[in-house]
């Protein structure tokens, strides 16, 4: 095989292009952000030569290429061969280009493993190449800080040298021989070493070298193919797996490149797909993310129309039905619902399609709420492969039912190649055969092939591999297919599939719950503001006070949903991406405050901000956008508020004491809790001898994937911050200040209504450190309860199994709870997502539970300045059950908004606290119908009456897309009056009130 491979590399491959001709090259460098073709083509191009450097980091150079196809090359094999200076590293992570005709029509893209352009029939031609000098930010298994992720620090030196631009004639016989060899050579590495099939292939490859003339590869290629033909004709075993090969290009909306570059990556990928489809009618390409199609429509409308035609022809299949391939751990329930609402509406409006699968191959774990949300959006199937990355435990199934917290199920498939970037090579197909968990019971598996992450998609070499492996001895059978056909076949052959219940926790990338805290804060607060804006705008619209801002709200939702992409919200992108995200969140916040102000003013109260106290002579009232009454203000209403005063701190016996009658708290000179007493039960919350509310600083040096990972072993190197530079009383707060180098942590502790609240103001300048807030609790339990979307999840907090041990950092939204029967402790927050909860034994050998909230990290890659600067957090602690935890979480996320004006009744009132109103808005179809989304929050079967304060003709249960469905939850509806509901545990329900009026 050494002889065969050398012959292939140095004889066959160079002979694919047997003749080349030079071209004339001129170039123009943009010197800034990309410009459209129409602008670039008007610029002055200067002569350019091969070998000349080009491309400052993130800049763009346009090449004007002119040449001629010789008359003797008639027959369609003439190509322009381009090497922009490719390094041989991964595709989509370095220089790329888009090729245009002089009229602006796109031909295809240029990338490291797809570097050819078809040329017209003989005669002169002119093409323009938009070449992007994207720097290589990722070198596999090297996670060193890089300046390349920020345009301001990336430097001015050119990154690339133009290596090749020439007209060449592709010898189809040699190229086909090369594909034959590639298919067989791959099998040599995966077949049993002593097996007869492997020996047969090796012998044939040897004979191929023997019969060919190394000095005349083109003239003897046919002989080589004749020798290989018999072994290529060997048929696969009857028991072989059937791989449904679907073209794919997972394109990250941002990662090691900014969003603006993804816009171009999308266009390049679709251009390649369209070119490939013209040559291979059997080719099918699946692409998710409505946002990416929307970018194409906005920035490349001519290409978008070609895509639209390809969708109509069945060549391109829009899949997933989501706005982007979002993270699913951190977005709120309504945001995950809107991913489907906006994504599916776009696909329906632009293409007339409704995909039935959820397509998330690369997100970092999957919430147990997703099956219900997906089913409510009309989905039946779910695809991912990410759990194959688990560090500790292998998922037990490849095709199975996934059951969510409410009992909803999705038929789920993990492509057993364990990649969404397959090349259909023998290694990927052998892994498919080896790792498919349902072997024996099933044969259908999915194979996603095409270059991804940075885009690019399938290549003609991959299609050649699929053709040769359609029925090849030693390989699974490969057939071109589409996702829907695959899922229907896979579902049909498993009438009783195994079931996985609950979240699909990724045993990797746990640090994504903490990295880039400002982006996470922007997400949580934007979700809250969107809720407020929709609620007050809908209230004002129904009462005839102001028009509903459909366009503005849709545009703002699109921005927030984009920022929930699985490399933006998790904090794993370059600095440029997160700088853009923070600016976007700032803009979204300003625009949403303006919409809230407009709606509240129309309702009779001028918005004065959440903490405003201006006075224009009108009465001061408060707007409550939360689902529960708060300080005397009804849920979703406006009225006078009567917040109770906070406890006044005092000093006694060297301690700071806070007592409001419902809780007694003592803080020592270290700034830590030494007593938290619940008078109602006469229970001390802290284990004897242990302090609570302790800031802990840990080493944070992951084995790899810095911004992504935290490792459990780093907890062995923790430092308690118990030596504050100052501690004292300021008004109603005990204020503790820590300094560590340039890092300053200010912690203000208050007590009110039996709830202890920590307000953090942190100027963070650590490097590779992890900051946690720890509360050891005198509670004996073996599980914790954490809020997720539209409900909550119980998780073991022991380490009985390897699955339990691996779950050492978990996600929660606004609250977590630990408790014994009749007694519990709830901790709520306004922006924290990462939690670390374990049972243990205290110093006296008594059982205890420690709850730690993960506040901040400081990873160096891919953003060396990640999380540096100012951050604010709020965390509260109280005794109580899950209902109290839910109420505290909403109160922190949706505080009262102070306004001046009159009171306003809420549009509706729910009789049962377990049934929570999550969203109040007007219908997406702009009919004026009112849409209300509710869910059962306590995990019980709950009945509730929804009383309305507006008239309506009809109340319907709908899916997320606001289409009527049969729903058992809607028991009775009295027009203009009340709706009677009965919801199953955690059931999600959307109500549509037709023809509402004040």
- The Cα–Cα gap between 678 and 668 comes to 18
Q: Which residues pair with 447 in a beta bridge?
A: 245
The CA distance from 558 to 341, in Å, is: 11
Separation CA 983–CA 968 (nearest Å)? 8
Q: How do beta strands 316-318 and 357-359 pair? A: unpaired
DSSP per-residue letters across 432-448: HHHH-TTBTTB-EEEEE
Q: Is 552 exposed, middle or buried (0-12, 13-18, 19+ CB in 10 A)?
A: middle
The number of angstroms, rounded, from the C-alpha of 866 to the middle of its chain's C-alpha atoms is: 19
Nearest-angstrom CA–CA distance, 532 and 516: 25
Can you tell me the distance from the alpha carbon of 548 to that of 921, in angstroms, rounded to the nearest whole number? 9
Give CA–CA dist 382/363, Å, rounded: 13
Provide the sign of the torsion angle of the four alpha carbons 969, 970, 972, 978, taken in this order: positive
- The tokens for 504 are 């699909």
In 3-state terms, the chain is what percent helix, strand and coil (to 5)? Answer: 25, 30, 40
Quickly count: other Cβ atoms within 10 Å of residue 442's Cβ.
Answer: 20
Q: Quick one: which H or E segment has residue 276?
A: helix 259-279
Q: Are 61 and 29 in contact (CB under 8 A)?
A: yes
Q: What is the Cα 812 distance to its own chain's centre? A: 17
Catalytic option among 64, 327, 362, 607: 362
Mode of pairing for the β-strands spanning 930-936 and 942-948: unpaired
Residues 6+ apart with CB under 8 A from 522: 563, 581, 582, 584, 585, 586, 588, 589
Cα–Cα distance for residue pair 934/912, rounded to 1 Å: 12
Rounded distance, CA 566 to CA 226, Å?
49
Please state the separation of Cα 286 from the chain's center in Å: 18
User: What count of residues does the chain have?
Assistant: 998
3-state secondary structure of 79: strand
Q: Which residues contact 897 (CB under 8 A, 6 or more apart)?
A: 532, 596, 600, 607, 609, 610, 622, 623, 624, 625
| CA 28 to chain CA centroid, nearest Å | 37
How many angstroms separate the CA atoms of 833 and 811, rounded?
5
- Taking each helix axis from N to C end, the angle separating 301-312 and 290-299, rounded to the nearest 10 degrees, works out to 130
Provide DSSP, 152-175: TTS-SS--EE--EEEEEEE-HHHH
Nearest alpha-carbon partner for 514 in 662, 670, 709, 646: 709
- Residue 865: phi and psi, rounded to 5, are -110, 20
* Dist. CA 254–CA 328, nearest whole Å: 17
Active site residue 362: yes
Tokens encoding 95: 């220089």
Q: Are 62 and 140 in contact (CB under 8 A)?
A: no
Check: CB of residue 542 under 8 Å from CB of residue 996: yes
Contact, 816 vs 857, CB < 8 A?
no
Spatial CA neighbour of 371 closest among 505, 527, 503:
503
Q: Write the CB contacts of 594 (distance below 8 Å, at least 6 apart in sequence).
A: none
Q: Which DSSP category does 764 fall into?
A: E
Q: Which residues are catalytic?
A: 362
């Amino acid at each position: 095989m050494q002889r065969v491979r050398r012959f292939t590399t140095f004889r066959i491959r160079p002979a694919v292009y047997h003749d080349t001709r030079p071209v004339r090259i001129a170039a123009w460098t943009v010197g800034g952000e990309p410009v459209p073709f129409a602008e670039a083509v008007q610029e002055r191009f200067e002569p350019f030569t091969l070998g000349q450097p080009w491309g400052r980091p993130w800049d763009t150079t346009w090449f004007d290429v002119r040449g001629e196809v010789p008359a003797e090359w008639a027959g369609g094999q003439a190509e322009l061969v381009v090497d922009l200076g490719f390094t041989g590293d991964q595709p989509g992570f370095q220089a790329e280009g888009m090729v245009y005709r002089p009229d602006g029509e796109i031909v295809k893209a240029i990338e490291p493993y797809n570097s050819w352009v078809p040329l017209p029939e003989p005669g002169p031609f002119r093409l323009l190449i938009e070449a992007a000098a994207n720097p290589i930010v990722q070198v596999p298994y090297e996670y060193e800080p890089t300046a390349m992720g920020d345009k301001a620090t990336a430097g001015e030196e050119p990154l690339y040298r133009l290596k090749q631009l020439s007209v060449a004639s592709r010898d189809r016989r040699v190229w086909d021989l090369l594909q034959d060899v590639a298919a067989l050579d791959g099998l040599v590495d995966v077949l049993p070493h002593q097996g007869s099939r492997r020996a047969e292939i090796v012998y044939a490859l040897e004979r191929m070298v023997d019969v060919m003339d190394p000095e005349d590869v083109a003239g003897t290629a046919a002989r080589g193919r004749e020798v290989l033909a018999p072994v290529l004709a060997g048929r696969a075993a009857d028991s072989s797996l059937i791989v449904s090969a679907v073209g794919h290009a997972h394109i990250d909306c941002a990662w090691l490149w900014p969003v603006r570059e993804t816009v171009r990556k999308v266009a390049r990928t679709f251009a390649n797909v369209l070119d490939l489809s013209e040559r291979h009618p059997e080719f099918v390409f699946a692409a998710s993310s409505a946002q990416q199609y929307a970018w194409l429509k906005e920035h490349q409308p001519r290409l978008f129309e070609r895509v639209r035609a390809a969708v109509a022809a069945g060549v391109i299949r829009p899949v997933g039905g989501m706005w982007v391939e979002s993270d699913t751990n951190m977005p709120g329930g309504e945001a995950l619902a809107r991913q489907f609402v906006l994504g599916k509406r776009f696909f329906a409006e632009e293409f007339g399609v409704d995909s039935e699968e959820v397509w998330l191959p690369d997100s970092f774990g999957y919430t147990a709420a997703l099956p219900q949300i997906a089913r409510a959006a009309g989905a039946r199937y779910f695809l991912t492969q990410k759990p194959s990355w688990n560090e500790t435990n292998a998922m037990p199934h490849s095709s199975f039912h996934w059951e969510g917290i409410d009992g909803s199920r999705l038929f789920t498939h993990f492509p057993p190649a364990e990649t969404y970037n397959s090349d259909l090579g023998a290694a990927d197909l052998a892994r498919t055969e080896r790792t498919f968990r349902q072997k024996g019971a099933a044969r259908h598996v999915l194979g996603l092939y095409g270059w991804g992450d940075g885009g690019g998609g399938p290549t003609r070499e991959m299609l050649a591999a699929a053709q040769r492996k359609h029925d090849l001895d030693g390989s699974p059978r490969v057939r071109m297919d589409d996702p829907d056909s695959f899922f229907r076949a896979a579902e049909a052959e498993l009438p009783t599939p195994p079931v996985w219940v609950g979240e699909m926790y990724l045993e990797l990338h746990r640090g994504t719950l903490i990295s880039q805290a400002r982006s996470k804060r922007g997400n949580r607060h934007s979700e809250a503001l969107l809720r407020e804006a929709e609620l007050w705008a809908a209230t004002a619209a129904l009462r005839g006070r102001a028009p509903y801002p459909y366009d503005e709200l849709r545009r703002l939702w699109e921005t927030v949903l984009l920022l929930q992409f699985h490399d933006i919200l998790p904090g794993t992108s370059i600095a440029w991406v997160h700088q853009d995200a923070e600016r976007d969140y700032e803009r979204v916040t300003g625009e949403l405050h303006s919409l809230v102000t407009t709606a509240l003013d129309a309702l009779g109260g001028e918005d004065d901000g959440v903490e405003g106290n201006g006075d224009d002579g009108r009465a001061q009232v408060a707007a409550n956008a939360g689902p529960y009454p708060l300080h005397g203000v009804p849920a979703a209403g406006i009225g006078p508020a009567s917040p109770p005063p906070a406890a006044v701190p005092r000093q006694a016996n060297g301690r700071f004491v806070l007592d409001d009658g419902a809780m007694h708290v003592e803080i020592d000179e270290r700034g830590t809790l030494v007593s938290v007493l619940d008078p109602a039960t006469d229970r001390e919350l802290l284990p004897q001898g242990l302090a609570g509310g302790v800031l802990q600083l840990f080493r944070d040096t992951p084995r790899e994937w810095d911004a992504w990972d935290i490792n459990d072993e780093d907890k062995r190197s923790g430092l308690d911050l118990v030596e504050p530079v100052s501690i004292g009383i300021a008004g109603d707060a005990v204020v503790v200040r820590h300094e560590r180098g340039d890092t300053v942590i200010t912690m203000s502790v208050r007590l009110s209504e039996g709830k202890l609240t920590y307000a953090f103001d942190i100027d963070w300048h650590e490097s590779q450190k992890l900051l946690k807030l720890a509360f050891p609790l005198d509670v004996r339990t073996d599980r914790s309860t954490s809020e997720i979307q539209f409900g909550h999840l119980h998780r073991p907090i022991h380490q009985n199994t390897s699955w339990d041990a691996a779950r050492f950092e978990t996600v929660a939204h606004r609250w977590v709870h630990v408790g014994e029967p009749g007694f519990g402790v709830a901790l709520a927050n306004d922006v924290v997502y990462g939690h670390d909860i374990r049972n243990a034994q205290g110093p006296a050998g008594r059982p205890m539970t420690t709850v730690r909230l993960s506040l901040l990290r400081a990873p160096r890659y891919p953003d060396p300045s990640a999380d540096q600067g100012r951050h604010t957090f709020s965390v509260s602690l109280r005794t109580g059950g899950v209902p109290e935890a839910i109420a505290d979480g909403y109160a922190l996320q949706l505080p009262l908004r102070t306004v001046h004006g009159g009171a306003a009744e809420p549009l509706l009132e729910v009789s049962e606290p377990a049934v929570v109103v999550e969203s109040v808005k007007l219908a997406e179809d702009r009919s004026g119908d009112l849409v209300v989304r509710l869910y059962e929050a306590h995990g019980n079967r709950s009945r509730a009456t929804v009383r309305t304060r507006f008239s309506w003709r009809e109340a319907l249960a709908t899916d997320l897309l606001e289409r009527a469905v049969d729903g058992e939850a809607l028991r009775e509806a009295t027009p203009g009056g009340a709706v009677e509901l009965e919801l199953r545990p955690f059931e999600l329900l959307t109500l549509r009130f037709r023809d509402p009026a004040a």
